[in-house]
A and B are shown apart, each in its own frame.
Chain A
C-alpha cells in the first residue's frame, strides 16, 4: 500500500526553467493538496483540489499552476522557476468532509533553483 507518492524526490533547476511535480495517491481520496516548506518554517498551502477537474488557490499560489485530470493524480507546475521557489514540496490527500478527516502526506520533493 503506497499511500501518497511524489515524483521526483530531488531536482535542481536553473532559473527560468519549467518542471512538473507529480503526486499520486492510491487511497481513492477526493481531496489533494500541495504545500511548500522553507527552512525552519511550517508548511504553507499552495493549491488544493476537492475533486477531479477542480482546483483552488491556497495561501501562496503565485508562480505555480496545478491540474487534477485524474482523481488519483495532482500535478504542480512551475512555468518559470525562480530562486525563491527553492523549497521542499509536500503533497497530501484526504477523504471528503470539512472536519474529522486526517490527511496523508508524501515524503517530499526537494527542489533547488539556481
Chain B
C-alpha cells in the first residue's frame, strides 16, 4: 500500500486558511488521494479526493503536485467547527488505510 506522511498536529487561527500537507511519494499512477476528517471521535467524514488535477468543493480545495508525490488540503476560512483529525489516504483497491492523521486545532 502507498504510505502517507502527515504532521501530527497544527494550529490555525479562526478565519484564516488552513493548509494541511501530506506526502505520498510511493503513490502509483492510478491511485487517488482522499481526505477525511474525524470530529470528536465521530465517524470519519469525507472531504475531497483527486487523482492529478486540483479539486475544489464546498468544503475544501485539494492541490496535488505535478509529480503526485505530495498534496495539500486547504480549508479556506477555518472555523472552530473545523477542529478535527484530518486523514490523508491513498486508496488501494477496495479499502481505505488510515494513518494517524493531523490533529488540527482552530483557535479563536
Contact = CB atoms under 8 A, between A and B. Distances in A.
Interface of A: 4, 31, 33, 35, 37, 40-45, 48, 50, 58-59, 88, 90, 92, 98-100, 102-108
Contact of A102 (B30, B42, B43, B46): B46
Contact of B95 (A42, A58, A107): A58
Nearest to B32: A99
Interface stretch (B18-26, B63-71, B72-80, B97-105): B97-105
Nearest to A99: B32
B97 A45 contact: yes
A107 B42 contact: yes
**Helix, strand, loop or mixed for chain B's interface?**
loop
Interface of B: 30-32, 34, 41-46, 49, 51, 87, 91, 93-101
**Helix, strand, loop or mixed for chain A's interface?**
strand
Nearest to B96: A103
A34 B73 CA distance: 26
A58 B31 CA distance: 19
B94 A50 contact: yes
A85 to B, nearest CB: 17
